Structure 1
Amino acid sequence: MRRKKLVLVDGHSLAYRAFYALPTSLQTSRGEITNAVYGFISMLLSVLRDEKPDYVIVTFDKGPSFRVREYAEYKAHREKMPDEMRGQMGRVQEAVRVFGFPLVELDDYEADDLLGTLSKQAAEEGVDVVIVTGDRDALQLVDERITVLTSGRRFSDTTHYTPEKVREKYGLEPAQLIDLKALMGDSSDNIPGVKGVGQVGGTQMLQKYGTLDEVLKHVDAFSTRYRHALESQREQALLSQRLGRIVRDAPVTLDLEAAACWRDAARAPLLDFMRELEFRTLMLRVAELPGSASPDSQGQLSLFGAEQAAVPAPTVSVESGVTYQLVADEATLATLAAELRQRGGPLAVDTETTGTDALTAELVGISLSDQERVAWYLPVQAPAGEPVLPLAALQRHLGPLLADPTISKQGHNLKY
């Protein structure tokens, strides 16, 4: 029997990753920057498609945590959130709400603490948990019921951390990563650690003695350099341990009933939100969500409101579960190119031409797909009155995507 699954999302972490993965040139026709919101929603849709969770909850940081009171330098060196991103955080949280996900934040606690607490409560109820985050601090939470999903440079480069995967990568049990950070420190969070120990030394100590407490009890067993470092920085090591340990008993209660509501939530608010921000390609992916009907004649797939009629609306065909979209304006092209690049391939490419002679044929259009049963057509030539894209626009937006050696491509008629 399949066990129920809860996806817990670190909202701030995903929003940051989205902001730095996509260019700030992603804007609405009104000039509103939307790259973080777009990437955040795209990542959520990918997680929902791949994980097929029963429950979803999104957590966010809310002001300074209790750690700052204990150690004023905690995260003090971090650069301020860019203004271009700060202006999008309200939209990111609005996106969470229109999806129908509970949004959890709590004064004095970080999102990690809420993830730690909610995952523990869910596991105790027999629910499997997937924590989605870009912050590897969460790896300390991994156990037989709790896994952590992180991404690399692109969100498509994901890794599922199980206990076995943590052991393979770090040579330690997940819970020992708290003490590893206490020994080696963490420059990204400004956790001091024990100067002179480092990751290799800390790992070896924990492999032999198991915990920081046992390491500190056996300082006489180490070399003079390590013994002096541990004895002189004992309190600093214990402070670092407290700073790095994720709270598992924050004052928040898991509500699985609320976390399941997204599956039956009305999709109109989500589609309206996407329409307002001109997320045309993302709207097609809403059909992947549970309970979403295929687009109907009443305009569920009308990607633009009446006020945007001046922008040519893409033609969408949905037949037998296959979706094709005509991309015939530069704004949609720019968004599509950014999303394809962020997902990281593989990418299928086909060309349509005026003939079969590669030396004389002219380009008519390009077809693209990076997933089953979904494709886009980009026209360069068309019958009189039909929309087309300038070749220069294709070069400007598709050029970097097609030239990126990290994205694998399969082509048909590429010689044209």
Structure 2
Amino acid sequence: MRELFLFDGTGLVYRAFYAIDQFLKTSTGMHTNALYGIAKMLIKFLKEHVNMEKDACAFILDSKGGSKKRKEILKDYKSNRPETPDLILEQLPYIEEFVDAFGVKVLKLLGYEADDIIATIAKRFCNAFEKVNIITGDKDLLQLVDEKVYVWRIERGITELVLYDRKKVFEKYGVFPEQFGDYLSLVGDQIDNIPGVKGIGKKTAVSLLKKYGTIDEVLKNKKLLTEKLQKLLENATESLEKSRQLVQLIYDVPLDVNIEDLIYKGYDSKKLLVVLKKYEFSSIIKELGLKEEFEKKYTIVNSEKELSKLRKRIDEVKTFSIDTETTSLDPFSAKLVGVSISTNEGEAYYIPISHVSENNLTKEIVLKFLKEILECERYNIVGQNLKFDYKVFMVNGIEPQIPHFDTMVAAYLINPEERRYNLEELALKYLGYKMISFEELVDNNMPLFGNDFSFISIEKAAEYSCEDVDITFRLYSYLSKYIGEMKELFYNIEMPLINVLAQMELNGVYFDVDYLKELSKRYEEEMKKLEEKIFEISGEQFNINSSKQVAEILFEKLKLPIVKKTATGRNSTNAEVLEELAKDYEIARLILEYRKFQKLKSTYVDSIPSSVNITTNRVHSSFHQTGTSTGRLSSSAPNLQNLPTRSEEGKEIRHAVKPQFENWYIVGADYSQIELRVLAHMSEDEKLLDAFENDYDIHTITASKIFNVSELMVTEDMRRIGKMINFAIIYGISPYGLSRRIGLNVNETKKIIDNYFKYYQGVFEFIKKTIDFAKKNGFVKTLFGRKRFIPQLKLKNKNLIQEGERIAINTPVQGTAADIIKIAMVKVHNELKRNSLKTKLILQVHDELVFEVPFDELQIVKEIIKDKMENAVKLKVPLKVDLYEGREWE
């Protein structure tokens, strides 16, 4: 069977835009969700329905200005339609190029709508095909359905289609396709401004057409209708006629196109790959199996003579990318199997060290070579996630220089909203290159030896590892062009930080495991006591960990008031609900208490001992530069930044963090109100500047102003609210959100916020200017040039716009604070190193640094920490650091 497929392009673009994450964008900030959705639609449909070289396809678009003829009939035609979102307008100019790359002909003609072009083609070529398929999300085209023409309507998502033939049209609407134009004429269309007949709805229109067949027949038999219907039709003579003209499709659009132009011949892989790379659609590149082919020369270096040649080559180029192959991700137990180095695009070398039964270079020779090139300031070191490799080198006695370029960190800086920055993803996204995965390597080469890289043959290892450094070098060439305004941030803050984080992770944190085991027993006992009290009140035993059972006890048996429903309609028992109920009901308070102990026990007390490294007896968390959109570091495996601080029980867990050795101490250094100080600097608010310059209590001052009392009359509770307001302003919190936190009604909270801005007028102006800048430019920046794009501000959804405004307010302040502590970490690290001190930086918890310090270094280390942190950068207000010391963290 030979078929014709006509895609209602304009409608499908809109459908794709609203179905796909509207924050999808390229590294340059161009939004691409509509393009991505169109790609997914085309791929699915072409794959499942279209026969190459036999079937024909066209993708039809509206022209700018729409239908000239319909505008002449009705000046206000489609004037009720909402404005096209900016993010769609941004993508429309690229649709033609994009669809064309898939091998599908794009058609549009000035003065005509897509529907008319579809109608014309369907009529003109229907005899040349056994079946005509129209793919649309619009119902208007259903009037074309007949014994040869079918409509595929997208009714859910972007790829779930429903096939409409005559029978299906009748089932859905109660009229046949040939009656559909009359049906639309009667009911009208508010969005398109088609008037229809006022007072006649869908049911009435269907019943009239069922009885009389057409509008003409309805009008001929008007006297047989009810008096009311007669009146409605008489009053709508002109509007009905206009409606009929407006919904009538045009079948003679003067298109210069023939059948041969529309035959689907597939896509040109190279052409499509170029387009998909342009829009960074790595998942589609992978799905279609497209792959860029690169010329490459990979060399195995397994003799001292070859190693000497490589050294000379490095001397020539000065810049090289490097990667390690190990037997484990734990640097302390990992055996170094091999090292790969790339000195140019397509040029890479593999140095085998400990492959089983192979011709390796000795570890001593290779480490000597690595020490010479990695510790030398004359060379530029490039890599992907170099922090891991640096840890491996450090464990093996090498102290690498600050990296020149880390492709993972660079990709993150360019687009901090992405979720994945692994090498395979970046290769697909930016280079259109499909790499050999580790899983493929293992499956094909190591069926008997698990994942031990040393059992892979040198030839296979060289191909895999050289590809890693080759692609990394290519990414370095590509990404370095996009760092742009962020060069200072990248080279002076993020790159030096890699050495600091690598050392901090190797230092690890010592936990008193015996203490944690005792704490676990104590928490278990507390939970049993709480459990007994809960069962006593409820009158029966139940699973306290089951939300369903808790809801049944609270709301069905005990008849407690229902506070909130879940998305599925169940009675919610989340923390917010229980906190509300706990004000009046003991059982809710006890369940909250039980859940608190259970979370502390499972998340920290019981899990931390299992994270202790058997080689060092310490916990080595990972700290990520690419984990947040604001620039803050994040922590995982385990997350030590989330160790609880507020509750007494949480503090008990921090008691477990101790020095590993006698006569060592824990020293903590916490920036005092750093985000408020950054706000003072960026807003240049005179009141804030004065308060921090003179070391006044900023929370008391704020409380005094928002409650209109003297500072002497400020109570602890007022100061608490003043503190919450100070920080809430930075986070752009709404009066409603703040009211829930401070326990006042929305009107009272709004008045408090108004009072805040009356006093801190500079902050008000700063917030206004920041939001205006974000709306105009689509992003905000920190003091050091870190960018964050805010697509929410280009949308029409009020809630999303408000979310975007909160991000715009918070990011410059929080991001700048994050940058400052990174600078401080580097400066402290360098000073400790310069003085050859034994002190270890063991943790960074946002505004706080934690050290393990020998007793004889306490004084000098505290001076270094305070000096370097308080003088990390020069702001218009002084930075202040609070120091503490003890035999344990808390």
TM-score (norm: length of structure 1): 0.70
Q: 2:424 aligns with which of 293, 300, 313?
A: 313
Query: Matched residues in 2 for 1:391 and 1:149: separation?
Result: 48
Using the TM superposition, give the Cα deviation of residue 316 of structure 1 relative to its aligned residue in structure 2, in angstroms. 6.0
Using the TM superposition, give the Cα deviation of residue 100 of structure 1 relative to its aligned residue in structure 2, in angstroms. 2.2
Using the TM superposition, give the Cα deviation of residue 208 of structure 1 relative to its aligned residue in structure 2, in angstroms. 0.7
Aligned 1:11-410 pairs, distance under 5 A: 11-53=9-51, 54-62=55-63, 63-65=65-67, 66-263=69-266, 265-287=267-289, 298=293, 310=408, 312-314=423-425, 315=435
Query: Matched residues in 1 for 2:292 and 2:250: separation?
Result: 50
Query: Matched residues in 2 for 1:125 and 1:137: separation?
Result: 24
The one-letter amino acid of 1:91's match is Y
Query: Matched residues in 2 for 1:225 and 1:112: separation?
Result: 35
Query: Matched residues in 1 for 2:92 and 2:49: separation?
Result: 25
Which segment drifts farther, 223-232 or 250-259? 250-259
Using the TM superposition, give the Cα deviation of residue 253 of structure 1 relative to its aligned residue in structure 2, in angstroms. 5.0
Give RMSD over aligned pairs: 3.0
Structure 1 pair 296/282, CA: closer, same or farther in 2 (3 Å)? Answer: closer
Structure 1 pair 230/280, CA: closer, same or farther in 2 (3 Å)? Answer: same
Query: Matched residues in 2 for 1:72 and 1:111: separation?
Result: 19
Structure 1 pair 209/19, CA: closer, same or farther in 2 (3 Å)? Answer: same
Query: Matched residues in 1 for 2:50 and 2:192: separation?
Result: 33
Query: Matched residues in 2 for 1:95 and 1:68: separation?
Result: 30
Query: Matched residues in 2 for 1:190 and 1:219: separation?
Result: 26
For residue 58 of structure 2, give the secondary structure of its aligned residue in structure 1.
strand
Query: Matched residues in 2 for 1:122 and 1:249: separation?
Result: 12
**Unpaired stretches in structure 2, ≥5 consecutive residues:** 296-344, 347-404, 409-420, 426-434, 441-605, 608-621, 628-633, 637-890
The one-letter amino acid of 1:268's match is K
Which digits, 9 at most, give the CA deviation of each residue in 1:42-97, with x for residues without a partner? 11111112222421101111123110111011101112211111010112111112
Query: Matched residues in 1 for 2:276 and 2:178: separation?
Result: 40
Is the Cα–Cα contact under 8 Å of residues 183 and 194 in structure 1 kept in the other structure?
yes
Using the TM superposition, give the Cα deviation of residue 24 of structure 1 relative to its aligned residue in structure 2, in angstroms. 2.2
Give 4+ residue runs of structure 1 displaced > 4 Å after superposition. Answer: 305-311, 315-319, 388-392
The one-letter amino acid of 2:215's match is L
Which digits, 9 at most, give the CA deviation of each residue in 1:213-244, with x for residues without a partner? 11111111111110111122122212101101
Query: Matched residues in 2 for 1:113 and 1:36: separation?
Result: 23
The one-letter amino acid of 2:243's match is S
% same residue: 34
Is the Cα–Cα contact under 8 Å of residues 181 and 248 in structure 2 kept in the other structure?
yes
Structure 1 pair 71/149, CA: closer, same or farther in 2 (3 Å)? Answer: same
Which digits, 9 at most, give the CA deviation of each residue in 1:10-51, with x for residues without a partner? 111111111111222101122111111111111111111222
The one-letter amino acid of 1:266's match is D
The one-letter amino acid of 2:41's match is M
Which segment drifts farther, 109-118 or 23-32? 23-32
The one-letter amino acid of 2:187's match is M
Which segment drifts farther, 98-107 or 10-19? 98-107
For residue 159 of structure 1, give the secondary structure of its aligned residue in structure 2.
strand
Which digits, 9 at most, give the CA deviation of each residue in 1:236-293, with x for residues without a partner? 2121011011112211255221212432x42211111101111011113335xxxxxx
The one-letter amino acid of 1:27's match is K
Using the TM superposition, give the Cα deviation of residue 99 of structure 1 relative to its aligned residue in structure 2, in angstroms. 1.6
Using the TM superposition, give the Cα deviation of residue 177 of structure 1 relative to its aligned residue in structure 2, in angstroms. 0.8
Equivalence for 1:10: 8
The one-letter amino acid of 2:147's match is E
Is the Cα–Cα contact under 8 Å of residues 118 and 254 in structure 1 kept in the other structure?
no
Is the Cα–Cα contact under 8 Å of residues 3 and 129 in structure 2 kept in the other structure?
no
Is the Cα–Cα contact under 8 Å of residues 103 and 264 in structure 2 kept in the other structure?
yes
Which segment drifts farther, 201-210 or 24-33? 24-33
The one-letter amino acid of 2:36's match is Y
Using the TM superposition, give the Cα deviation of residue 126 of structure 1 relative to its aligned residue in structure 2, in angstroms. 3.1
Using the TM superposition, give the Cα deviation of residue 309 of structure 1 relative to its aligned residue in structure 2, in angstroms. 6.0
Structure 1 pair 45/220, CA: closer, same or farther in 2 (3 Å)? Answer: same
The one-letter amino acid of 2:132's match is V
Query: Matched residues in 2 for 1:220 and 1:254: separation?
Result: 48
Is the Cα–Cα contact under 8 Å of residues 37 and 158 in structure 2 kept in the other structure?
no
Is the Cα–Cα contact under 8 Å of residues 274 and 280 in structure 1 kept in the other structure?
yes
Which digits, 9 at most, give the CA deviation of each residue in 1:336-392, with x for residues without a partner? xxxxxxxxxxxxxxxxxxxxxxx98xxxxxxxxxxxxxxxxxxxxxxx9xxx99998
Structure 1 pair 391/9, CA: closer, same or farther in 2 (3 Å)? Answer: farther
Structure 1 pair 297/108, CA: closer, same or farther in 2 (3 Å)? Answer: closer
TM-score (norm: length of structure 2): 0.34
Which segment drifts farther, 103-112 or 93-102? 93-102
**Unpaired stretches in structure 1, ≥5 consecutive residues:** 288-294, 320-358, 361-383, 393-416
Equivalence for 2:330: none
Structure 1 pair 391/217, CA: closer, same or farther in 2 (3 Å)? Answer: farther
The one-letter amino acid of 1:5's match is E
Structure 1 pair 36/224, CA: closer, same or farther in 2 (3 Å)? Answer: same
Is the Cα–Cα contact under 8 Å of residues 7 and 55 in structure 1 kept in the other structure?
yes
Query: Matched residues in 2 for 1:117 and 1:128: separation?
Result: 15
Is the Cα–Cα contact under 8 Å of residues 185 and 240 in structure 1 kept in the other structure?
yes
For residue 262 of structure 1, give the secondary structure of its aligned residue in structure 2.
coil
Is the Cα–Cα contact under 8 Å of residues 45 and 285 in structure 1 kept in the other structure?
no
Is the Cα–Cα contact under 8 Å of residues 183 and 197 in structure 1 kept in the other structure?
yes
Using the TM superposition, give the Cα deviation of residue 298 of structure 1 relative to its aligned residue in structure 2, in angstroms. 2.9
Structure 1 pair 269/207, CA: closer, same or farther in 2 (3 Å)? Answer: same
Which digits, 9 at most, give the CA deviation of each residue in 1:169-209, with x for residues without a partner? 11211010100111111112110001111111111111111
Which digits, 9 at most, give the CA deviation of each residue in 1:135-177, with x for residues without a partner? 1101001111111111123123321111111011112110101
Query: Matched residues in 1 for 2:103 and 2:406: separation?
Result: 27
Query: Matched residues in 2 for 1:299 and 1:93: separation?
Result: 29
Using the TM superposition, give the Cα deviation of residue 313 of structure 1 relative to its aligned residue in structure 2, in angstroms. 2.1
Is the Cα–Cα contact under 8 Å of residues 118 and 253 in structure 1 kept in the other structure?
no
Larger Rg: 1 or 2? 2
Using the TM superposition, give the Cα deviation of residue 308 of structure 1 relative to its aligned residue in structure 2, in angstroms. 11
Query: Matched residues in 2 for 1:210 and 1:168: separation?
Result: 16
Is the Cα–Cα contact under 8 Å of residues 122 and 128 in structure 1 kept in the other structure?
no
Is the Cα–Cα contact under 8 Å of residues 40 and 159 in structure 2 kept in the other structure?
no
More helix by share: 2
Is the Cα–Cα contact under 8 Å of residues 7 and 129 in structure 1 kept in the other structure?
yes
Which segment drifts farther, 179-188 or 305-314? 305-314
Which segment drifts farther, 197-206 or 246-255? 246-255
The one-letter amino acid of 1:116's match is A
